[in-house]
Amino acid sequence: MPPHRSHPRPQSEPGPQSEGAAPQSEGAAPPHDGPAAGRFAPSPSGDLHMGNLRTALLAWLFARTTGRGFLLRVEDLDRVRPGAEDRQLADLRALGLDWDGPVSHQSQRRVGYDEAIGKLAAAGLVYECYCTRREILHAPSAPHAPDGAYPGTCRDLTPVQRAERRAARPCPALRLRSGVAEYTVTDVLHGEYTGMVDDLVLRRGDGTPAYNLAVVVDDAAQGIDQVVRGDDLLSSAPRQAHLAATLGLTVPEYAHVPLVLGPLGKRLAKRDGAVTLADLAAADSDAGAEPGAVAARALSSIAVSLRLAEPGEAVTVETLRARFSPSSLPRGPWVYHPA
């Protein structure tokens, strides 16, 4: 696999203290003594659909065929649906996937996120943001700034301006004072990719750690040096890699895999019908299909989509492990047609 390389590109007008780098702290990301690992990190907001299951299988295959451990992390900082986590774990087991050690939960790691923000703040790399989403959406962008970049509205407020805004919004978000406008990462499937880096949110106004911060801190703390996920998240990799580098953490190797689309060519969703193992089992109940047979058929379909099996061939994850090669993976999305 190609080595990771990251190349920051400086902003044309960096803000004050934007070039500082936070010193390392064992509290935010303690040294990891175990083997390197890959991971799958679902959010417990609902059942896993065929796209999620396919990505989980790929993450497992990438890790297991490169001698890495494989970890499971539940990203439960936002919406949690009761029972969803248990069903997700059961579906992964039904496919034949295993993982090393206990399942971790982001909701139990808030101290690490706070310490990471403290490190950045001590280096002058954190500022309060009082903007609403609507204000950001309608704010004029800086010259040559990419679409969707935070325009820096609150970056360099005077003390008086800051006090006025804090009086109106006493619970601001916290943002990273980034020192670059772009960052380049190397992806196993996409090669070098350069994407936007703006002043990303570290902690939301409601006190919830932001996704970009949490995944960076967690991956470093757990010794995860390989991140396999859907290619819809490729654009977030430069932000996360830059944040990791700023915190003095190792940037993981990335592999962003193609998504699964529904019959209409849009991202697979519940509206497309039988897209989860529970859906497939319900559809087959009248035919007397056993739950194990449903999972086996789903695994076979996913394997065919990855060019790792012939249509209708019965396979196991160990079969696929023996056949797996990243270079042979399809680069386009899989259009899934529920039965």
pLDDT of 239-256, one tens digit each?
999 999 999 999 999 999
The two tokens of residue 316 are: 């196991």
End-to-end CA distance of the chain: 36
The answer to whether the Cα torsion of 188, 193, 198, 204 is positive or negative is negative
Using CA atoms, how far apart are residues 228 and 251, in angstroms rounded to an integer?
A: 13
Using CA atoms, how far apart are residues 116 and 284, in angstroms rounded to an integer?
A: 49
pLDDT tens readout for residues 112-141: 999 999 999 999 999 999 998 888 777 765
Q: What does pLDDT average to over the chain?
A: 87
CB contact at 8 A, 37 and 226 = yes
Residue type, position 278, single letter: A
Tell me whether residue 290 is annotated as binding.
Answer: no
pLDDT band of residue 339 (cuts 50, 70, 90) is low
What's 152's DSSP letter? -
pLDDT at 133 (0 to 100): 82
pLDDT at 141 (0 to 100): 58
What is the maximum alpha-carbon separation in the chain? Answer: 71
pLDDT tens readout for residues 64-112: 999 999 999 999 999 899 999 999 999 999 999 999 999 999 999 999 9
CA 133 to chain centre: 22
Tell me whether residue 270 is annotated as binding.
Answer: yes
In this structure, of 47-61, 184-198, 280-294, the range with the lowest mean pLDDT score is 280-294
What global pTM score does this model have? 0.87
- The domains of the chain are located at 261-335
Tell me whether residue 25 is annotated as binding.
Answer: no
Tell me whether residue 171 is annotated as binding.
Answer: no
pLDDT tens readout for residues 201-241: 999 999 999 999 999 999 999 999 999 999 999 999 999 99
Tell me whether residue 39 is annotated as binding.
Answer: yes
Tell me whether residue 9 is annotated as binding.
Answer: no
Strands (E), the chain: 7-10, 37-40, 69-74, 104-105, 126-129, 173-176, 180-187, 191-196, 201-203, 226-230, 253-257, 260-261, 334-335
- Helices (H), strands (E): how many in the chain? 10, 13
Query: Is residue 7 pLDDT above 90, yes or no?
Result: no
Regarding beta strands 126-129 and 173-176, do their DSSP bridges make them parallel or antiparallel, or are they unpaired? Answer: antiparallel
pLDDT band of residue 10 (cuts 50, 70, 90) is very low
Tell me whether residue 42 is annotated as binding.
Answer: yes
What's 104's DSSP letter? E
Provide Rg for the chain, Cα atoms: 21
pLDDT at 99 (0 to 100): 98
Tell me whether residue 40 is annotated as binding.
Answer: yes
Q: Which member of 5, 9, 81, 270 is catalytic?
A: 270
pLDDT at 288 (0 to 100): 55
pLDDT at 281 (0 to 100): 87
CB contact at 8 A, 243 and 212 = yes
Burial of 255 (0-12, 13-18, 19+ CB in 10 A): buried
- Mean pLDDT of the region 287-292: 66
Tell me whether residue 267 is annotated as binding.
Answer: no
Q: Which helix (H) or strand (E) holds 72?
A: strand 69-74
Task: Report residue 189: phi and psi, to 5°.
Answer: -100, -30
pLDDT band of residue 145 (cuts 50, 70, 90) is low
Burial of 308 (0-12, 13-18, 19+ CB in 10 A): buried
The verdict on whether 270 is a catalytic residue reads: yes
